[in-house]
Every structure is written in C-alpha cells, then in structure tokens.
Amino acid sequence: MFIVILGGGVSGLSCAIRLQEAGHTVEVWARELSPHTTSDVAAAVWYPYRAWPQERISAWAKRTYTVLASLAQERPEAGILMVPGVEVFRRHVEDPWWRDSVPDFRRARADELPPGLLEGYHFTAPVIEMPRYLPFLMARLRELGGHIIQREVRSLDEAWASASLVVNCTGLGARDVVGDETLFPVRGEVLRVSPPPTDRFIFDDECESGMAYVIPRSRDCILGGTAEEGNASLVPDALKAQAILERNAPLLPEGAKLDVLEHKVGLRPGRPTVRLEVEVLGERVVVHDYGHGGAGVTLSWGCAEEVVQLVATHSR
C-alpha cells in the first residue's frame, strides 16, 4: 500500500522505516529536513519526560529502549551511546513508574550523588547524537526503498490527494494541519559544550532555579535546560544560558573547564496526552502520531510499531 507520512523528524522517520519494512511503499513529506527539524535540537537521551498517559507511555518507552540499545551495539554509525548516570533528588523518593523499562535500574549509592543531594536513581540510558542519528534514519529509509520529499503541507487533503492513507507525525504543526488546539509549545534551551566534563549523565529536575542536566556524548556534552510552556520564541536568551551554566556547575567535577560551542533552542510538542490513534473519514484514513512532549526519541520506535499495527487493520 502507498502511504504518505507527514513530518520528517524522529517520529516520522521511525514510522516510515517500520512501514517500509512491513511491505508498504512510503513517501515522507516534510517542511523541514535534518538538520533543521525540532528533533535536531533534542538533547537527546532516553527518558519518558512530559508525556502522558503513563500506561501507554510505559510500553512505548520500554520497546524503544530495546531498539535503541540494539542499534547502539549493531549500528555504530547511528550515533547511539549507552551511558550510565544518575537522576538526583533533595528528598526521599519512591522508585519511578518507568523503572521496569530499564534493565539495570537501581538506587544510587551515596558516593554517586553530587554534594548536597539526598537520593537518586542509577541506570544506563541510550544517548542519541541527533546530528548522526537523523541522517542514519534517512539513509536507512532510502535503503529500504522509501522516499523523502521536502514540501510544506497545510491540510490532510493535500496528502489524501496522493494517498488514501496518511500518517500524521507533524508535531506542533498539527495545530495547523488538523486544527488541534490542545497542542502547545514547551520551549527548551540547551548548551553544547566541549570537552565532555564527565562520562555519566546527571539529571536534576528539582534544582531551585530550574532544571539541570548533563548529557555527555562522544565529542561534546549537552547542558540543559529549560521547559517554558506556551513560549514559542526560537531566539536564544543569553541570561538563560548563563543560568544553565550556573545550575549545572554543582553537578560537574570540581574545576571543570568548558567551552560553549553552541546555544540551541527548540520547541517540544506539548499535549495533555500523546495522540496515537486512527481516524477514518469515508475512504480516507489518517493515523495520528504526535504530541510526544519531551519524549519524542524515547517513544519513537514503540509508537512507530503501533502505527504499523493500526495501518494493518485499515489497509486491507
């Protein structure tokens, strides 16, 4: 079956690959392609952040972890590293709801916590270097026979003119494409620094002045971050960059020297729940897969495989 996928970020490309593998003929239509997509700005580390509902997120996240871990081992060109690290707290916390998604989850030892932190979780997470990963996905899709076309689409009717079944992975763009007013931007700023000051990730979501996180990669490191709901500005804020450096300083080895290479801004597609469902309008079908909040990469393969199942039930 010929299928048009709207959106060339990590969700659209993952869906396209799985559908092409399932025997469909796929064409991705995207207003922006890597390195100019929202996905390119992602930190990006496996973590089910700002995505709901929990019961569906858990299954998608667990499946995606498995796929990313396999790619890290089997396809080094994908740019995925398996990195150990900690999430830290200033208070007593129970185990997280997503703990069973991570094979080596455990409570952090005292010597693994930065000074002043009371508790933490220790686990290994896939860290995805998006400048390598997105081109890898695009190349994989083309190897399978799929096509990628850069074009802007303002309505589903434009896609339905070419294919009776469309997969909608437009992220925040779904506000315009399908009129979804429940979507809202969650603005995030990060700094890309060098050299990597540590070989482990550290998440501190409860810092008094805002979230802080350290995500080491092969040649650089991402420091974050911010999460401003409703702010759609893509202009970097120098004051926020300075605040990110200050919040992260206590998490880094004493005396760590950093050069800021890049200051990046992106908009997460916030939504009360992820929209992954099929909509049938006569002979025309659309499968929606968007609204992943801060967990687009974390949910990508799990969601893509559910999209394949939904397509299978409506393509006979």
Q: Which of 74-78, 102-106, 254-258, 259-263 has the lowest mean pLDDT?
A: 254-258
CA pair distance 258, 220, nearest whole angstrom: 10
Write out the binding residues for D-dopa: 213, 268, 294
Contact 31, 154 (CB under 8 A): no
* Residue found by looking up tokens 């952040």 in the block: 49
In the chain, beta strands by DSSP E: 2-6, 25-30, 80-89, 106-107, 119-128, 147-150, 165-168, 184-194, 201-204, 212-216, 221-224, 228-229, 259-270, 275-281, 284-290
What percentage of the chain carries pLDDT values higher than 70? 100
Contact 9, 174 (CB under 8 A): no
* Residue found by looking up tokens 């990110």 in the block: 244
Full DSSP string of 68-114 = HHHHHHH-GGG-EEEEEEEEEESS--PPPTTGGGSTT-EEPPGGGSP
DSSP assigned state of 290: E
| Parallel/antiparallel/unpaired status of strands 2-6 and 165-168 | parallel
pLDDT at 276 exceeding the cut of 80? yes
CA pair distance 68, 161, nearest whole angstrom: 35
Q: Which of 150-154, 207-211, 219-223 has the lowest mean pLDDT?
A: 207-211
Contact 159, 275 (CB under 8 A): no
Q: What is the pLDDT of residue 316?
A: 59
Write out the binding residues for FAD: 38-39, 153, 170, 293-298
Q: What is the pLDDT of residue 36?
A: 72
Domains, the chain, ordered by start? 2-313 (3.40.50.720)
Write out the binding residues: 38-39, 153, 170, 213, 268, 293-298
The whole-number average pLDDT for the span 19-31 is 97
What's the pLDDT tens digit per position in 85-97? 999 999 999 999 9
**How many residues does this entry show for the chain?**
316
